[in-house]
Structure 1
Amino acid sequence: MTSSNNQTDLCYASATALAADIRRGERSPVAVVDAFLDRIERVNPEINAYVTVCSESAREAAREAERAVERGDDIGPLHGVPVAIKDLNRVAGVRTTFGSPAFADHVPEHDDVVVSRLREAGAIILGKTNTPEFGRKTKTDNPVFGASGNPWDPSRTTGGSSGGSAAAVAAGLAPIALGSDAAGSIRIPSSACGVFGFLPDFGRVPAGPVRSDAFQDLLPYTFLGPIARTVSDAALMIEAISGPDTADPNGLPTPTGSYRDAVESAPDLADLRIGYSPDFGDFVVSKSVSETVESALDDLSAAGATVEEVEIPFEGSWEERHDAIEWILQSRYVGLYENLKQDSDVDLLTIDEPITPEVRSRIRAGLELDTTTLATARRRRTAVYDAITEALEDVDVLVTPTLGRTAFGLDVDNPTVDGESVHRMHGWTLTWPLNLSGHPAASIPVGFDDSGLPIGMQVVGGRLEDRKVMSASAAIEETIPWKNAYPPEAIEGDR
């Protein structure tokens, strides 16, 4: 048995390095999985990143992975690499609750397509990570499992809704994790927890299979993607899970170039043109976040990048755009409500379980929507798409702060930004306009505030240019490295 410090080092190794070592026979998948399970046992009780840990099946999968290497089998790119799965994604034979008391004992019979692809690539599933009920909130807590704590300060939020996945990666409880994003749910916790989160082109990663409503992920654009500590690790994972699936009508064809090639051929900064929007139109951003992002941009400029401030030609007010995302999300939740009634005989508005108030309020509001309101939402959505596309015309990528502030306390329901009141759910998150427009994006850690909490920068690309986002992120990572910035000193299990 290795020492606790050596185990910690292993658990902070990159997924890319682990995969290469396992492939060469230099590292045992059994030892890797045992190290992560030991660390989960020590650290997870403090931050509640995992809600279900698959110890037995993970160890059996690791033993089989080791035998495959010994036999000289043809193995996948993630062979033997542990991965965490958000509890909104189905894993066959593993409790999948969606964070809801109505599904507290639900065990699906089949994997989601993205989970099947991870298995086919050789990944070993460590467990399911915490999420707000049905992904409803930008904080990660729910009536079944409670709240997840931020590894940099467990008294603070991870953000949401992929908060458990981001916390697991940040705390060394998984090298990579799966997230999903309908209003920022990959990017928000990635920024709050100091990790890298990536949104590929919409349609690159298949959803489902969800036969009740195969078009729900248009309301709004909802992405599946990786959360990782490095850009190359995210590329390794997205490579394994992307590609069309006949069950997903939104699927895109396989791109001609790979994501790993995009990382390896990252542009020289002298060839990178960055457009900077300090507030993504009209969001409220704290002084510490603005100064940290602008300091990172100064470093990129000094290294040769062209950085220029750009205006986003949005129509109307922040409130009008926000109404559009709210109306579309309300429509989505009406679909969820009707599908659960028909497919699972669960009525979220009448059952006795303590359903999250925000879930019920969104459904009730959605039931009151009319077609004129939804038509207005689509017009405003079109205008958002046009404005972001126009802002990208003369630059390679657009960057903004990911969040208007750093992580706040777990007991805070109405966060402020430098004392200014903002919308409690979406006023401090500069992420959701991209779920209206569908542009690919990432959140990259670029520094810390005075209290040591991470700050992320959002990187946005043109439609069908997600590899450009990945490539630009790799170039940024080389100038502003965060690979060795881990929070173990904040976690009691590491002391």
Structure 2
Amino acid sequence: MTDTPLWQLSATDLAARARNGDISAEASVQAAVDRMRAVNPALNAVVVDTGDDALERARALDKARKGGATPGTLHGVAVTIKINVDQKGQATSNGMPALKDMIAADDAPLVKNLQDAGAVVIGRTNTPELSFRADTDNPLFGRTHNPWGHHISAGGSSGGAGSAVMAGIGALAHGNDIGGSLRFPAAANGAVTVKPGLGRVPAWNPSQKAERGMLAQSMSVQGLLVRKAADLHTAMPAMIAPDARDPFHAPLPWRGEDLDWPIRVGFTRETYGFDLHPEVNAALEAARDALNDAGYIVEEVTPPCMPEVAQEGYRALLTEVSHLMKADIEAIGSDTIKAIFAEYFRQFPPFEEMDYLKVIARRTYYSREWARQQERFPLMLTPFLPQPFFSPDRDTEGAEGVREVLGAALWSYSMNFMGLPAGNLPARLSVLPQGPVPIGVQIVGRRWREDLVVDAMCAIEDRLGALATQLWQRMD
């Protein structure tokens, strides 16, 4: 045992101690709830406090354990859930005032899976309207702040989740990602995540009135933000448990077959017309050197089909959005979100019908070309954003603002379009004139090999360190 406060421990450590009986689930959850109530007022990361219910659940878990029940793999670990996913008895508001009273009658599969493993939900985290910005602010709950300071956006759309987990509000934070909504907050706040690939985590909202479009179904995935990469190995196996409500879920184990060692990693600095900032380049080189030191073979390569796959993929998604969501945006969206979407549509113009069908067909070609390269290079180390993370509300500043926030994120939404797993972790903490800014890098993996991505992130983190301790020293 150590004197480290429980809220500072990783999910892996907390689960192990609670399962062994060294600490109670109640003590673990109480520490997380106390931390939430101490620091969240300054962050607005958690917008629905479920701490009292969480403590009741934790006490029930302790009672069951004493009665002989086998504790789950996440026994007593505090988690937050994003407000765009159904949690029984809570509003799935998606940051929209018009949806503030849409109470979920049942849990989404991922919420059930986490709770079945013993995790305890302490609160619900903020998102921008419709979860379609890389910055987190909305008319219902307001802005979420980055714990590193107000000079840097908390990212989006899982900005509340990223801010919360790095501030010590729970060891696990649920988020989702249709074009970067797990990886943007990871990069902004210095957290670690892996965007799962197509079909990995069962997804469905019982409250939804209609099925989502094909690309929304295939590009949007559910995942976790954490402070330590190894926590993804601990928690993601619970997330991927099958659920019949998602008929396209791929019921595969978390761990795939062992590959011949050393594993080859493709490496690129290419940013396709956007300037690569020296601090981002330094982060890429640090991650590359860490992988080399860990025994990986890192070679510079030319990624296939870039940037076409990114540009066509996001235009295809916005084609779907224009047909299936535009009426809702106009009917219930704020002036801010309407203006941002108008700029999205200008920079990524929706396709006409035949061109859309051709792009959907080319999606298979793009994915095949990547799969062929991944036979030799199972992993790829890439930039995430070409510049250090942007300031709050940058995407409200017209064409240049949206271009910096979203247009430059080619390495993000390309992976959603192809359905490939992609992780993000900090490889550098830059001290810029405006203040400290984490610099994240991305690791792309073979289809259904999130485990390889997380292994590589663990190797980098072992050598470069995590950022949470430095952040807490600043906060306290």
Q: Same fold (TM over 0.5)?
A: yes
Tell me the amino acid that sits aligned with residue 194 of structure 1: G
Once the two structures are overlaid, the 10-residue window that deviates more, 480-489 or 107-116, is 480-489
Decide whether aligned partners of structure 1 residues 88 and 359 sit closer, same or farther in structure 2, where only a CA change above 3 A counts.
farther
What are the within-5 Å matches in structure 2 for residues 322-471 of structure 1? 322-332=311-321, 334-336=323-325, 347-351=328-332, 356-357=337-338, 361=342, 370-413=352-395, 422-428=403-409, 430-451=411-432, 452-471=436-455
Tell me the amino acid that sits aligned with residue 442 of structure 2: Q
Q: CA deviation at 1:370?
A: 3.3
Choose from 294, 297, 318 the match for 2:288: 297
Choose from 12, 16, 29 the match for 1:16: 12
Tell me the amino acid that sits aligned with residue 408 of structure 1: F
Question: 1:251-276 CA distances to partner (integer Å, 9 max, x unpaired)?
Answer: 11232xx44x99xx8x99x7132110
How far, CA to CA, are the matches of 1:213 and 1:420 in structure 2?
32
Q: CA deviation at 1:282?
A: 5.1
Q: CA deviation at 1:58?
A: 0.9
What are the within-5 Å matches in structure 2 for residues 255-266 of structure 1? 255=253, 258-259=254-255
Q: CA deviation at 1:108?
A: 1.1
- Residues 143 and 356, structure 1, Cα contact 8 Å, conserved in 2: no
How far, CA to CA, are the matches of 1:405 and 1:168 in structure 2?
24
How far, CA to CA, are the matches of 2:242 and 2:223 in structure 1?
14
Structure 2 gaps, min length 5? none
Q: CA deviation at 1:78?
A: 1.1
- Residues 414 and 424, structure 1, Cα contact 8 Å, conserved in 2: no
How far, CA to CA, are the matches of 1:104 and 1:23 in structure 2?
37
Question: 1:34-75 CA distances to partner (integer Å, 9 max, x unpaired)?
Answer: 222221122111111111110221111111122122223122
1:122 alignment counterpart: 118
Choose from 285, 289, 313 the match for 2:276: 285
Is 2:231 the counterpart of 1:233? yes
Q: CA deviation at 1:140?
A: 1.2
How far, CA to CA, are the matches of 1:415 and 1:351 in structure 2?
22
How far, CA to CA, are the matches of 2:406 and 2:28 in structure 1?
38
Q: What is the SS of the residue equivalent to 2:331?
A: coil
Q: What is the SS of the residue equivalent to 1:450?
A: strand
- Residues 220 and 328, structure 1, Cα contact 8 Å, conserved in 2: no
How far, CA to CA, are the matches of 2:225 and 2:20 in structure 1?
25
TM-score, scaled relative to structure 1: 0.85
Decide whether aligned partners of structure 1 residues 484 and 357 sit closer, same or farther in structure 2, where only a CA change above 3 A counts.
closer
Decide whether aligned partners of structure 1 residues 49 and 114 sit closer, same or farther in structure 2, where only a CA change above 3 A counts.
same
- Residues 114 and 241, structure 1, Cα contact 8 Å, conserved in 2: yes
Decide whether aligned partners of structure 1 residues 252 and 398 sit closer, same or farther in structure 2, where only a CA change above 3 A counts.
same
Q: CA deviation at 1:351?
A: 4.7
How far, CA to CA, are the matches of 1:211 and 1:411 in structure 2?
31
Q: Superposition RMSD on alpha carbons, in Å? A: 3.1
- Residues 110 and 201, structure 2, Cα contact 8 Å, conserved in 1: yes
Q: CA deviation at 1:330?
A: 3.7
How far, CA to CA, are the matches of 1:483 and 1:489 in structure 2?
10
1:343 alignment counterpart: none
Tell me the amino acid that sits aligned with residue 443 of structure 2: V
- Residues 152 and 188, structure 2, Cα contact 8 Å, conserved in 1: no
How far, CA to CA, are the matches of 1:468 and 1:363 in structure 2?
34
Tell me the amino acid that sits aligned with residue 268 of structure 2: S
1:195 alignment counterpart: 191
Structure number with the higher helix fraction is 2
Q: CA deviation at 1:87?
A: 1.0
Decide whether aligned partners of structure 1 residues 404 and 415 sit closer, same or farther in structure 2, where only a CA change above 3 A counts.
farther
What are the within-5 Å matches in structure 2 for residues 470-485 of structure 1? 470-482=454-466, 485=469
Q: CA deviation at 1:283?
A: 4.8
- Residues 92 and 99, structure 2, Cα contact 8 Å, conserved in 1: yes
- Residues 175 and 228, structure 1, Cα contact 8 Å, conserved in 2: yes
How far, CA to CA, are the matches of 2:126 and 2:456 in structure 1?
30
2:299 alignment counterpart: 308
Question: 1:363-394 CA distances to partner (integer Å, 9 max, x unpaired)?
Answer: 98999753123124324534542443344232
Decide whether aligned partners of structure 1 residues 312 and 72 sit closer, same or farther in structure 2, where only a CA change above 3 A counts.
same
TM-score, scaled relative to structure 2: 0.88
Q: CA deviation at 1:280?
A: 5.4
- Residues 215 and 317, structure 2, Cα contact 8 Å, conserved in 1: no
Decide whether aligned partners of structure 1 residues 25 and 292 sit closer, same or farther in structure 2, where only a CA change above 3 A counts.
same
What are the within-5 Å matches in structure 2 for residues 79-118 of structure 1? 79-118=75-114
2:158 alignment counterpart: 162
Tell me the amino acid that sits aligned with residue 227 of structure 1: L
- Residues 101 and 355, structure 1, Cα contact 8 Å, conserved in 2: no
Tell me the amino acid that sits aligned with residue 86 of structure 1: K
Q: CA deviation at 1:412?
A: 2.8
How far, CA to CA, are the matches of 1:147 and 1:487 in structure 2?
20
Tell me the amino acid that sits aligned with residue 219 of structure 2: Y
